[in-house]
Amino acid sequence: MFTIRHETVLDIPAREALLDRCFGEGRFGKTSERLREGRAPADELSLVVERLGRLVGTIRLWHVAAGDGRPALLLGPVAVAPELQGLGLGGKLVREALARAAELGHRAVILVGDEPYYRRFGFSREAVGGLSLPGPYAAERFLGLELARGALFGAQGLVTATGRPAPLGAAELRETERDRGQTLLRAA
């Protein structure tokens, strides 16, 4: 009934439409976005949920350096179609992504999200106590999880993006269009 699989380039329009539905346009203003924009997600860590040929869930993880250069992943955005929320899909998706990340040898995951939701997967505020993000965020929403014991121990400083540059996809093209629109508006 539900399949979790790797995202392909053909999924991009449906993924972006789902993220718009779940987060609205405000999603592009988030500090986490500063760590994702212009970057490709981590290999094999963009997953989607498909139901009857329709994309109904998405999760992606991104390469970052946690403070002193130690490698970590940024989780997000994660979203499930509103009409299918509360059925356990989000939990399955997060657990699947974390299990795959661990199998691939990644050692730590950070995110900005609701602690009451993410603590069930082991995320905590304490894990990222010495770290900060490049922009405004609510401190109680900045969370971390060690996939390998001690991976975030003593981590201090700013989180920075380390993913390779992204090829232009639908989202990036749309961003470019928007930037171009703003440029034109300013020029008018």
Ligand X SMILES: CC(C)(COP(=O)(O)OP(=O)(O)OC[C@H]1O[C@@H](n2cnc3c(N)ncnc32)[C@H](O)[C@@H]1OP(=O)(O)O)[C@@H](O)C(=O)NCCC(=O)NCCS
Which string of x and - marks every residue 58-87 that binds ligand X (by CB under 6 A)? Answer: --------------------xxx----xxx
Window contacting ligand X (CB under 6 A); options: 1-9, 111-119, 151-159, 177-185: 111-119
Q: Which of 113, 122, 130, 157 binds ligand X (CB under 6 A)?
A: 113
Q: Residue 111: which of 147, 149, 62 has the closest Cα? A: 62
Q: Cα 60 to chain center, whole Å?
A: 5
| C-beta closer to ligand X: residue 57 or 67 | 57
Does residue 157 bind ligand X (CB under 6 A)? no
For position 147 contacting ligand X by CB under 6 A, the verdict is: no
What's the rounded Cα separation, in Å, for the pair 79 and 95?
A: 14
Q: Which residues contact 9 (CB under 8 A, 6 or more apart)?
A: 169
38 touching ligand X, by CB under 6 A = no
Q: Does 22 bind ligand X (CB under 6 A)?
A: yes
